[in-house]
A and B are shown apart, each in its own frame.
Chain A
Amino acid sequence: MEFSEHIKTANVEDVVLRQPLHPPSRGTLCITGHHLLFSDREEGSSRQVLLLLRNIDAIEKRTSGSSGTITIKCKDLQVLQLDIPGMEQCLNIAHSIETLSCLDSVSEMYPFFYRPADLSLQDQWGLSSPESYYSQMKELHGRWRLSSVNRDYSVCPSYPPAVIVPNSIDDDTLRKVAKFRQGGRFPVLCYYHRKNGMVIMRSSQPLTGANRKRCKEDELLLQAVIDGSDKGYIIDTRSSQQAQQARMTGGGFESKSCYSHWKRLHRQMERGKALQESLIKLVEACGDESNNMDRWLSKLENSKWLSYVQTALSTAGLLAECVERDGHSVLVHGSEGTDSSLLISTLAQLIMDPCCRTLDGFLALLEREWLQAGHPFQQRCAHSAYSHTRLQQESPVFLLLLDCVWQLWRQFPLALGFSEALLLRLATEVYASDYGTFLCNSDQERCAVGVKDKTHCLFQALLRPREKDYYSNPLYEPTELAIWPSVHPQSLQLWRGFFLRWTQQIRHLEEAQEEIRNMVIEWGKLALS
C-alpha cells in the first residue's frame, strides 16, 4: 500500500502516553496507514488505545536531548501526549501523523477498509430518502409529486436524484428555476406539517443580481406552494443588508413586487469562517488554565458560540411558529442553502414533528436534511478547533446543530427518544469515522466513489440492538405536542458534555445518567413481572 511510504518508523517501544482521565502509561506505539495504536506494557494491564489518524487535528512536537514529545490534539477535543525516546523516531512519527491524518483522497480513507464482522456490505444503506418520505406521506400525494429531474445530478449537483415539488410544476419549469437559483438549488419540499398541511421548502438564494432579474418559473413555483392559502413566509438567514449586498455578486432575494404573496423575514445567522472561529475561541477558552472567572466569562462571551446557539434556536422557533401557529408555508434560504437553511429546517422539524424525535426518526431526519440535502461535510469538517492550517471551507454548522438539539433535550428531557450519548457520538463521527456516512460533500460525490457499496453506514450501525439501547433516552415519553424551546440566555447553557468531555467532572454527570438508566430498567423489570 502506498501508505507505507509515509511511514518511516512503524513501531516504537518504551513510549509514555499521557491521556486525560488516565494515569500515564508506558508501552509500544505503532503507526499504520489509518491508525495510531498504543499498547500498554505494564504488568497486569493490557490497555490498548486505537486512534484514527483522521481524528487528529493538530500535532505539536518538542524535542529535548535524545527524546521528544508529541502533543496530539484531536478533532473530538481530546489532547494526548506521547513521550518518545529517540529524536529521529519522534520526528518520523510526527511526520507520518501529519501526512496521514489529512490525506485528500476519499477512497483511501479508513471507511473503505473497515470491515467489522457483524456488518455486511450487502446490508441496506441509509434509513430514509425523499422517495421513501414521499411514499410514507400519503397526504402529499394530491398536491405534490416526486420529480426525478435531477436523476443524473445535472440540474443541481448538490441535490439527490429525487425531490418533492408541487404537482403543477413540470420538470422543464424546474430546470429553468434551477438556473435562477445559486448552485441550481431550486425550492424543494423538506417537511409537510400534517396538522394543517403547511410545508417547509428550502432552496438557495435567487440570482436576481444588480439588475433585479426575474424568473417567471420561480415565481410560478412559489405561487404553487401556497396555492389556496393567502400567503407564505420566506425566512432569509441573512440580514436584509447582507441580502441587498448579495445582489452585487449576482445573488439576491425575492422582492415584494415579484412575490407579492410572500412575506420576507430576515434573521442574520452566522456561517462559514465566523462560526469556525467561534468554535476555535470557545475551545481555547475551555482550555484556559488561568482559573480566573472574569477571564472565562469574557472569553465565553467573546467566542459568541452561545449567541449562535441562541440565534439558531430562535430562528427555528420563528420558522415553526409560522408553520404551526400562524398556519402558513415557509421557504428557507440564505445564500447557498447548504448550511444555516438546513440547520433551522432541521430544528424546526424537531420542534414540531414527533416522528423526528425518535432515535430512528432523528437519524432519518439527518440523512434527508444534511446528507441528501447536500451539506458539504468533507469541506466543513476537514478540521476542527485545534488545527493550525489556514482555514478554507471549514465551518462547524453540524456541531452547532447538535448543540442546539442538546439544548432542546435539556429543556425537554422526556420528549426526545435519543440520549446525549448519541449527539456526542455524532459529533465525533462527523469529523473522523470508521463509517462512510459523512464522507464527501454530496450524494453525487458519494455515488461516484461508491460510498454505499464499499463502506458501512453509521446510521444502520447505530440501530443495532445493543447500540440502539445505549443511544436511546430511557426517559422518553412520546408526545404529539410541539416543544418550544426557551431562548433566554438564562435557559441556554454551555454543552459541557461535549466541550468539557475530557474532564473528570463529566464522569460524575455520566454516572448520573447511568443511575437514571438503571432506575428505569429496575422499574421496568418489576412492572413487567
Chain B
Amino acid sequence: KLKETMWKNNPKKILSAVENVRLLDRVSPRRSRVGTLYLTATHSIFVVNEAGVRNETWVLHSLVFSAEKQAATPSGCPLIIHCKNFQVLHFVIPRERECHDVHLSLQRLSQPESYEELYCFSYKPNVDEVERRQEWDFLDLKTDYSRMGLPNSLWKLSPVNRHYKVSDTYPADLFVPESATPPVIVGSSKFRSRGRFPALSYYSKENHAAICRSSQPLSGFSARCLEDEQMLEAILRSNPCSDFMYVVDTRPKLNAIANRAAGKGYENEDNYSNIKFQFIGIENIHVMRNSQQKMLEVCELRSPSMSDFLEGLESSGWLKHIKAVLDAGIFIAKAVAEEGVSVLVHCSDGWDRTAQVCSVASVLLDPYYRTIRGIMVLIEKDWISFGHKFSHRCNHLDGDPKEVSPVIDQFLECVWQLMEQFPCAFEFSERLLITIHSHIYSCQYGNFIGNNQRERIELGVRERTHSLWSHLWTNHADYINPLYRPDHSQTQGLLRPSTAPYSFKFWRGLYNRFDRGMHPRQSVEDYLRAIQEETQQLEEQLASHKQVRLSSATCDKSPTVRALGNDLSLANTPQDYTDGFITNSPKAPDDSLILQPQDSSQTSEPSFSNGSDQESGIADLSCRSPLSEDSTRDPDSDEAAYSAA
C-alpha cells in the first residue's frame, strides 16, 4: 500500500530503506516504536506495523531544519531531526554505517542549492493546467485596494515601479499620494535603503488616515533630500483631516543611531514639516532568531518542572518580543482609528519589522483582515508583495544562516494572541494559522518562494507551481471558527487588546504542536462545528417545509458522537506521574501501567490519535499537511500523519 501511494505521488523511487529503526517518543519514552525508515526524493517515511495496524509518518525534506547524528550507543546510533514546523524526530538506527548514510542523504535532500530543486516545482497534484492557472487568480491585490476605496482623489496607482527599476524588491503596483509626481518618487527612493520609498499599505475610508511604509532614509548625520521631504508632505496632504503625521521607526533608538554612522538612519523632525517622530524598540532579526531558538530549547526539555519552563520562557525573551510587535501595531492602529492621523512606518530595510507592524495594525483596524480571505490578502500584500524575504528568512535554500529569522512566525503569533483575547472576532481558527505556517516553510506551494515579486516572476512561479491560497479556500470550512459571528460586538471595528504581560500566552499549539500528549483531549471547536452544521441542516429542512423527521440515529447521538465517530477521544494514556517507581517494584512490571486495558471500551492508542488534539487543530491539520501531500489517501491511513508526535 505504501508503495502504491508512493508510486502515485513520487514517480521517483524509494532511495533507501533502513529496517529496525526506533522512533522515540519525546514525551513518554516508553512509547517508542520500531519500524522501517524510507527515504524518497521528497520525503522521509517511517512505517510501523504493529499488531496489523500500519502507521506512517511522513516528513517532507524541505521541512527539515537540521539532521544531527549523535555518538553511537549500544542500542544504536541516534539521529535527531528538527523540522521547521517544530516537529522533532528522534530516531535510533541500529548500525552506525546506516545512520551515517541516512544522515548524509538527508542533509543533501533537505538543503537544496537552487530554486529549481524546491518541492513546489515537482509537486503535481491531480489538477489540470486550466485549474492551476485559475488558482493564481484567486487573490488579486487590486481588489483589496478597491475595497479600501482606492484609487480615489487622494491616492493613485503609480506605474513608476512597473519594471522593478525604482526598487527591485518592491511590487510593480503601488499606491502613492495623488500629489506625488514620478520625479518626487524616484528622488525619494534614491534617499531610501534599497530604493524602498514610502508607499501605501492601508487606507481608512472612514477618516482618510493611511499607513505607509518604506525603508530607512539615507540621512547619515546630516544629509537631506528634498524629494523625500516632499514625499512625506504629499502623504500628509493626502489626509485632509490631519495637520501632522507620525513617522514610526520600529527599531530601538540605539540601533537607528548606529545606522547613521553607515550613512543611513532616521528622519530629522526639523527637516520634515509636521511630522512626529517615534521610536518603537522591536529587536532585529538576529535577536529574534536567537530568542526563538532559546524558546524551542525550552519546549524540547524532556520533563521540565514548571519553574524550568517559566524561567526558560522568560530568559528566551520571546513573549517580550511578541508584546513589542503587538504594542507597535496598537500604536499605529490607534493613530489611524482614534486620531485620524496617517503613519509612515519603517525599520532598516522595511521588509521585516515594518511588515509585522503594518500587518498587525491592519488586523486590529479592519474586521476584513480577521476573515479567512482577509488574512490571506493581508499576507499577500504586506508580506509577499512588499518583499519580505521569505526564502532567506525561512532558509528555503542552503544559504546564510544569519539571514534566517522567524519574523513571519511572530506575525502569526500576534494574530493568535489576539484570537485568544477575542474568541468571537476572527472568522478563522488557530488551525488556519498553523497550516499557513507549515506551508510558508514547506515549499510545496509557489507563494512564498523567492524573496520578492521580481524573483518570483523570473522563476515563473505562477506558471509552474500551485497556489496555497486557493487550496486553503477550497477547504475553508475546516478553518472556520465556530464562535465567529460577523455581527458580534467583538467583531466590530478596532480591536483593543490588553497588552498587560499576563495577557500573553505561550503558543503550545504551534511550538509543541507535535507533542500530542500536551494538548487538550477534547475539542470544543469540533463539537461546535458539528452543532453548527446540524443546526444549518435542520434550518434548511424547516425552511423547505419538508417534514422534519430525523432518523432515530440522529436524535440519539450527540453531535460529537457523529462528528468524531465512536472514539470520543478521552482516549489518552496516563502521563508519567509515577517517575518510574513502578519499574523498581518487582511485583508490578513496567508494562502494567502502560499496557492498554483489555476492555474494548477503554482507551487505546488508535482512538487517541484520531480524536484527540482537535482543538489545537493537530489531527485534522496533519491529514492535509505538507507532510502528507496526498489528499486523496483514504482516511484510515491518515493515521500515518499523526503518528510522529
Contacts and interface: CB of A to CB of B under 8 A. Distances in A.
A512 B489 CA distance: 11
A160 B592 CA distance: 37
Contact of A293 (B309, B323, B575): B323
B568 interface: yes
Interface string B565-604: 0001011111101100110010110001100010001110
Interface stretch (B83-91, B172-180, B313-321): B313-321
A411 B498 contact: no
B309 A490 contact: yes
B577 A314 contact: yes
B575 A291 contact: no
A516 B559 CA distance: 14
B573 A512 contact: no
B314 A294 contact: yes
A526 B498 contact: no
A439 to B, nearest CB: 34
A56 B80 CA distance: 56
Nearest to B573: A484
Contacts of B422: 508
Contacts of A104: none
Interface string B471-496: 00000000000110100111000000
B520 interface: yes
Contacts of B311: 297-298, 301
Interface string A495-529: 01000100111001101100110011011001101
B593 A321 contact: yes
A412 B570 contact: yes
Interface in B528-578: 528, 531-532, 534-535, 538-539, 542, 548, 550, 555, 558-561, 568, 570-575, 577-578
B406 interface: no
Given A481-B570, A515-B483, A301 B578 contact: no
B310 interface: yes
Interface residues of B, number: 84
A81 B457 CA distance: 64
A180 to B, nearest CB: 27
Contacts of A515: 423-424, 483, 485, 488
A487 interface: yes
B484 to A, nearest CB: 9
Contact of B482 (A292, A321, A480, A519): A519
Contact of A490 (B506, B528, B555): B506
A488 B490 contact: no
Interface in B287-340: 299, 303-311, 313-314, 317, 319-320, 323
B499 interface: yes
Contacts of A415: 522, 570
Contacts of B570: 412, 415, 479, 481-483
B498 to A, nearest CB: 5
Contacts of B483: 512, 515-516
Given A314-B577, A326-B582, A526-B538, A291 B500 contact: yes
A298 B304 CA distance: 16
Contacts of B11: none
Nearest to A510: B423
B306 A489 contact: yes
Nearest to A487: B575
A263 interface: yes
Contacts of A212: none
Contacts, number: 205
A519 B528 contact: yes
Contact of B575 (A230, A285, A486): A486
Given A413-B520, A519-B528, A504 B498 contact: yes
Contact of A412 (B310, B520, B581, B601): B520
B310 to A, nearest CB: 4
DSSP majority for the A interface?
Answer: helix
B402 interface: no
A306 interface: yes
Contacts of A309: 306
A484 B309 contact: no
B501 interface: yes
A292 B317 CA distance: 11
A516 B528 contact: yes
Contacts of B523: 413
Given A297-B501, A512-B483, A310 B314 contact: no
Contacts of B550: 527
A72 B518 CA distance: 40
Listed residue (B310, B502, B573, B587) with the most chain A CB atoms within 10 angstroms of its CB: B502
A523 B588 contact: no
A503 to B, nearest CB: 7
Contacts of A486: 517-519, 521, 572, 575
Contacts of A485: 575
Nearest to A230: B587
Listed residue (A486, A500, A511, A512) with the most chain B CB atoms within 10 angstroms of its CB: A486
A489 B498 contact: no
Nearest to A528: B555
Interface string B109-149: 00000000000000000000000000000000000000000
Contacts of A413: 520, 522-524, 615
Interface in B204-239: none
A484 B527 CA distance: 20
Nearest to B320: A293
Contacts of B424: 508, 511-512, 515
A119 interface: no
Interface string A315-328: 10110110001100
Contacts of B517: 486, 488
B164 interface: no
Contacts of B162: none
B405 interface: no
A480 B600 CA distance: 12
Interface string B408-430: 00000000000001111000000
Given A292-B501, A326-B592, A490-B512, A265 B572 contact: no
B13 interface: no
B568 A477 contact: yes
14 contacts: A291-B500, A295-B501, A297-B319, A300-B310, A300-B502, A301-B307, A326-B592, A410-B520, A411-B520, A413-B615, A415-B570, A481-B571, A511-B489, A529-B538
Interface of A: 230-231, 263, 265, 285-286, 291-298, 300-301, 304, 306-307, 309-310, 314-315, 317-318, 320-321, 325-326, 410-415, 475, 477, 479-494, 496, 500, 503-505, 508-509, 511-512, 515-516, 519-520, 522-523, 526-527, 529
Interface of B: 27, 299, 303-311, 313-314, 317, 319-320, 323, 421-424, 482-483, 485, 488-490, 498-506, 508, 512, 515, 517-524, 527-528, 531-532, 534-535, 538-539, 542, 548, 550, 555, 558-561, 568, 570-575, 577-578, 581-582, 585, 587-588, 592-593, 597, 601-603, 615
